[in-house]
Amino acid sequence: MPGSCRSRVTVSKLVIFDTSIFIDHLRTGRHQQRLESTTGLIRTSSVVLAELWRGAAKPAERKFLRALERNHPILTPTEKNWLESGQILGKIYTDRGFAPDKLRDLHFDVLIALTARSHGGNIRLFSRP
């Protein structure tokens, strides 16, 4: 069906940046060109914003976060995302024996990924040069 194909193409261009990109960008400015040249519908995860606000100590960081909130729609994990994240982490615990602290560290990453998947988007991670 042509209509659903067009819709799928539009949704697949949805982009959510991981927390680590913004942290690295705020510290070094290294990703400025990549962030500005990104194509697609940029969305922000409420989980990413919460992680960033938790560590925003400088006025410039808080200004950046306010602009991020203002300029890009915010996606929030659903109840289903939360429940599935717990199930995934439980399976990782059973299969891999990860320690509770490691599972806690992974929880937000899993939520961000599930939220992106729920909206047909992908997560952008930039590797260091």
Boundaries of every domain in the chain:
2-124
Residue with tokens 């939220």: 115
CA distances from 10 to 7, 20, 106, 112 (A): 5, 26, 29, 20
Does the pLDDT of residue 111 top 90, yes or no?
yes
Backbone angles phi, psi at 17, to 5 degrees: -90, 140
Q: What is the pLDDT of residue 1?
A: 41
Quick one: DSSP state of residue 44?
E
Q: What is the pLDDT of residue 9?
A: 39
pTM listed for this prediction? 0.81
* Angular region, 97: left φ>0, alpha ψ -120 to 50, beta rest: left
DSSP three-state, residue 43: strand
Q: Which residue has the higher pLDDT, 124 or 90?
A: 90
Mean pLDDT of all residues in 98-123: 92
**Alpha carbon 72 to chain centroid, angstroms:** 12
DSSP three-state, residue 14: strand
Residue type present at position 87: Q
Does the pLDDT of residue 93 top 60, yes or no?
yes
Which CATH architecture does the domain made up of 2-124 adopt?
3-Layer(aba) Sandwich (3.40)
Q: Which residue has the higher pLDDT, 30 or 90?
A: 90
